[in-house]
């Protein structure tokens, strides 16, 4: 238990800020950043003491202050408190301060108290919501917009701003303590997340070693693939449109290519298909039309397009401009567009033949402001439609479009993201966020490692290598089927329990169904891809965009796992009655104003059945494993580095001579989660946790060792 009533130190670090490709970088790992100073106060017996400050890098303070006074108070503190405490803690450690106390982040506290409701977690808005002292940040914000950092702002403004931050944070902390005294049910979760904060500090400071040469090679391969995809997609589009101009990045033109239609009245189209945003800021609900009305709406706001043949415009002779002279007989500087061709330089004549791939928007969910969708989900439906019609060209176009979107994501999010944020020493210090995903699951940024494909064929993973040299490895320990096990744990579904206790590989079973193959034909990547289909029904997925045999799998899923279906119904009935879902850890999720729908489900049904499984699995069990792993590494003075956690795994930069110790430590940390569940939450799990451990020369080429 955290000591909330002892000597509490509340701190706030102010730093310089740099711009990195248009993004803010206030990290201590940017060699050009400096800590302007630290402001802090002590809370004793519930009373907030005076604010102290030490200033080290401010233009008006050429002589930096000492450091001893701050370290002395750190040594005396039973607890350290801050808002967004991970940021301040990393700075403190990078500056060489010693921290022996537990850390309490008031932002984490507010996140848990919000119970999955959307509230601003900023210090200013939290202070306003709590009714405590709050800073007036307008002047500081205006200076930031002008490019003036804390080091260059007038010192009295910086001092006033930082002092108010400390007082606000101290009063928020005391308000949280009061709230926990009235209802302590959320305290175990808040303490767990604050302990997890220390693990995140560890992995962010350790960072990830990047093989830049390998990354350059991956980038070149992706660019080459992207160019080939664009070339082929362009060929197909030209073939089905004739000479009609198009842009593959245009939603309007994609509607022409895929659906053979164009919008004739955008306002009417939006009205008929309820496209737009409501007064609550959320997308308007999709209308429910029968086939007859839906088809009538399609015909009313769009029209079929025809292939065209282009001919040189006879008026402008292909220039696209109408040649005109001023009264002085001089040509206009900017010649007006040709009225005949609209500036294209060509006149397009219809051939009378329907253009495009001739696919059909089957219901209102396909509609978009530009016509009809070609997004990831809709593309799956369209591919199934094209296959059923034997339209191989449409299948090729859509599959290549999906792949192009993926490649662009890989280039922009992962390759460019890594190159932007890797430091000069080749180490990438990604940022991990605990208060973004409502379930408590981690997210990450700069770049987003939580979305990196898990396939062992994804080449970006090969760029993550050991900092210790070629003879050393990257190791990953992964919970096996964690969310499926948690679903069985919470629902007590007898079939899930039997599958787990008998050692059935449910992901391999799923892969066999999805790929329509024998067990011996299931590859590791097929099994990995099958996990999404194992988990989808757990979270309310219906498989509507999948092929018929996969849709049938979704239909029979809840026949096999009837206990899970009953539990889902109990969750929804409970929300209708009480408006809340609770997990064994005490974490709570509010669903106010829930209503029963005509199909028997309720509003926000997917979240209602998703949140308890995902939060208990990756918001509670995985953090416990991470905390235990950090404890083991410290107690055994391991030189190997904890560097990542991705959903349900822990990744280590492994010093080869420590391999046996690290394997033993990861097993102890992850398999012992059940002991911590009992200690922390008085919850005894009935199902065992299983783990897999792999190691290899990089994060892609790995071999199973446990």
Q: What angle do CA 467, 469, 472 make, to 5 degrees?
A: 90
**What count of Cα atoms within 13 Å lies in the side-chain half-sphere of residue 620?**
29
Is a pLDDT exceeding 90 seen at residue 673? yes
What kind and span of H or E run contains 517?
A: none
Closest alpha carbon to 486 in 611, 376, 395: 611
For the stretch 321-352, pLDDT in tens is 888 887 778 888 888 899 999 899 999 999 99
> Picking from 21-35, 130-144, 190-204, 225-239, which range would have the lowest pLDDT averaged per residue?
130-144
Asked if 590 and 415 count as a contact pair (C-beta separation under 8 A), the reply is no
> What six digits make up the tokens of 128?
């306003």
For the stretch 449-483, pLDDT in tens is 888 888 778 999 999 999 999 999 999 999 988 99
SS (H, E, C) 351-405: EEEECCCCCCCCCHHHEECCEECCCHHHHHHHHHHHHHCCCHHHHHHHHHHHHHH
Q: CATH 3.30.70.370 residue ranges in the chain?
A: 423-481+617-704
> Picking from 52-61, 449-458, 494-503, which range would have the lowest pLDDT averaged per residue?
449-458
Is a pLDDT exceeding 80 seen at residue 59? yes
Q: Rounded mean pLDDT of 522-537? A: 80
pLDDT (0 to 100) of residue 579: 96
Residues 6 or more apart from 582 whose CB is under 8 A from it? 588, 589, 612
For the stretch 593-646, pLDDT in tens is 899 988 888 999 999 999 999 999 999 999 999 999 999 999 999 999 999 999
Tokens 């070609």 — which residue? 374
pLDDT (0 to 100) of residue 512: 86
Q: Is 209 left (phi over 0), alpha (psi -120 to 50) or beta?
A: beta
Asked if 104 and 10 count as a contact pair (C-beta separation under 8 A), the reply is no
Tokens 């201590």 — which residue? 28
Residues 6 or more apart from 654 whose CB is under 8 A from it? 466, 468, 472, 473, 474, 475, 640, 662, 695
Which DSSP state fits 462? Answer: G
For residue 37, list its beta bridge partners: 14, 55
517 pLDDT band, cuts 50/70/90, is confident
Mean per-residue pLDDT over the chain, rounded: 93
Q: Rounded mean pLDDT of 54-81? A: 97
> Picking from 141-145, 159-163, 389-393, which range would have the lowest pLDDT averaged per residue?
141-145
- Bond preceding residue 447 cis, omega within 30 of 0: yes
* Pairing verdict, β 79-82 and 102-105: parallel
Closest alpha carbon to 123 in 154, 159, 155, 81: 81
CATH of domain 8-182: 3.30.420.10
244 pLDDT band, cuts 50/70/90, is very high
Q: Yes or no: is domain 423-481+617-704 CATH 3.90.1200.10?
A: no
> What six digits make up the tokens of 8?
């509490």
> What six digits make up the tokens of 403?
């792949």
Task: Report in angstroms the alpha-carbon separations of 688 from 485, 669, 671, 681.
Answer: 8, 14, 8, 17
Q: Rounded mean pLDDT of 45-52? A: 96
Q: Rounded mean pLDDT of 164-177? A: 97
pLDDT (0 to 100) of residue 545: 67
Closest alpha carbon to 433 in 102, 678, 203, 163: 203
Between 657 and 560, residue with greater pLDDT: 657
Asked if 462 and 647 count as a contact pair (C-beta separation under 8 A), the reply is no
Predicted model pTM: 0.91
pLDDT (0 to 100) of residue 556: 85
> What six digits make up the tokens of 167?
């007082």
Q: CATH 3.30.420.10 residue ranges in the chain?
A: 8-182
For residue 42, list its beta bridge partners: 9
Asked if 320 and 341 count as a contact pair (C-beta separation under 8 A), the reply is yes
Mutual angle of helices 482-491 and 524-535, in 10-degree steps: 30
Q: How far apart are CA 495 and CA 492, in angstroms?
A: 9
């Amino acid at each position: 238990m955290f000591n909330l009533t002892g000597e509490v130190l509340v701190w706030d670090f102010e730093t310089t800020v740099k711009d990195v490709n248009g993004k803010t970088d206030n990290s201590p790992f940017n060699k050009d950043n400096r800590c302007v100073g630290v402001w802090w106060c002590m809370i004793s017996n519930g009373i907030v003491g005076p604010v102290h400050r030490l200033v080290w890098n401010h233009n008006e303070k050429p002589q930096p202050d000492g450091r001893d006074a701050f370290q002395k108070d750190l040594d005396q503190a039973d607890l350290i408190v801050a808002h967004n405490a991970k940021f301040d803690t990393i700075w403190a450690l990078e500056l060489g301060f010693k921290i022996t106390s537990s850390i309490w982040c008031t932002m984490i506290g507010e996140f848990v108290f919000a119970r999955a409701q959307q509230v601003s977690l900023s210090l200013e808005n939290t202070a306003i919501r709590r009714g405590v002292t709050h800073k007036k940040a307008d002047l500081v914000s205006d200076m930031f917009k002008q490019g003036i950092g804390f080091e260059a702002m007038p010192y009295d403004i910086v001092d006033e701003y930082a002092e108010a931050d400390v007082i606000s944070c101290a009063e928020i902390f005391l308000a949280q303590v009061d709230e926990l005294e009235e209802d302590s049910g959320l305290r175990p979760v808040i303490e767990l997340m604050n302990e997890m904060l220390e693990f995140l500090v560890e992995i962010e400071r350790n960072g990830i070693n990047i093989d830049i040469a390998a990354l350059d090679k991956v980038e070149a391969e992706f660019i080459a693939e992207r160019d080939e995809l664009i070339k082929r997609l362009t060929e197909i589009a030209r073939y089905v449109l004739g000479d009609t101009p198009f842009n593959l990045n245009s939603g309007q033109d994609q509607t022409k290519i895929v659906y053979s239609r164009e919008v004739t009245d955008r306002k009417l189209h939006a009205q008929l298909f309820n496209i737009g945003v409501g007064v609550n800021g959320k997308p308007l609900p999709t209308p429910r039309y029968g086939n007859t009305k839906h088809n009538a709406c399609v015909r009313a706001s769009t029209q079929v397009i025809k292939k065209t043949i282009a001919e040189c415009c006879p008026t402008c002779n292909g220039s696209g401009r109408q040649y005109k002279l001023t009264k002085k007989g001089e040509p206009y500087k900017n010649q007006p567009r040709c009225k005949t061709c609209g500036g294209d330089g060509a006149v397009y004549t219809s051939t009378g033949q329907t253009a495009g791939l001739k696919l059909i928007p089957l219901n209102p969910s396909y509609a978009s402001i530009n016509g009809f969708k070609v997004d990831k989900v809709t593309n799956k439906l369209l591919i199934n439609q094209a296959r059923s019609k034997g339209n191989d060209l449409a299948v090729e176009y859509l599959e290549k479009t999906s792949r192009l979107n993926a490649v662009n994501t890989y280039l922009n999010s992962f390759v460019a993201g890594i190159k932007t944020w890797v430091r000069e020493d080749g180490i990438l210090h990604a940022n991990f966020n605990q208060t973004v995903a409502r379930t408590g699951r981690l997210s990450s940024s700069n770049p987003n490692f939580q979305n990196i494909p898990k396939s062992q064929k994804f080449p970006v993973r090969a760029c993550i290598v050991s900092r210790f040299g070629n003879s050393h490895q990257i190791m990953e320990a992964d919970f096996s089927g964690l969310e499926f096990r948690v679903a069985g744990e919470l629902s007590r579904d007898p079939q899930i329990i039997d599958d787990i206790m008998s050692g059935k590989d449910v992901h391999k079973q799923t892969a066999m169904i999805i790929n329509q193959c024998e067990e011996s034909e299931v590859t590791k990547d097929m099994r990995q891809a099958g996990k999404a289909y194992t988990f989808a029904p757990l979270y309310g997925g219906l498989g509507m965009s999948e092929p018929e045999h996969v849709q049938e799998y979704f239909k029979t899923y809840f026949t096999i796992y009837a206990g899970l279906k009953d539990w889902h119904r109990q969750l929804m009935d409970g929300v209708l009655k009480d408006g809340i879902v609770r997990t064994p850890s005490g974490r709570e999720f509010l669903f106010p104003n829930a209503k029963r729908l005509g199909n028997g489900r309720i509003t926000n049904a997917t979240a209602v059945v998703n949140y308890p499984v995902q939060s208990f699995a990756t918001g509670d069990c995985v953090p416990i494993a991470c905390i235990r792993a950090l404890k083991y590494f410290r107690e055994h003075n391991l030189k190997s580095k904890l560097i990542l956690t991705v959903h349900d795994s822990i990744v280590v930069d492994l010093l080869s001579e420590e391999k046996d110790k690290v394997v033993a430590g990861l097993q102890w940390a992850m398999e012992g989660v059940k002991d911590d569940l009992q200690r922390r939450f008085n919850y005894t799990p009935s199902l065992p946790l299983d783990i897999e451990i792999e190691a290899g020369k990089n994060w892609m080429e790995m071999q199973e060792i446990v």
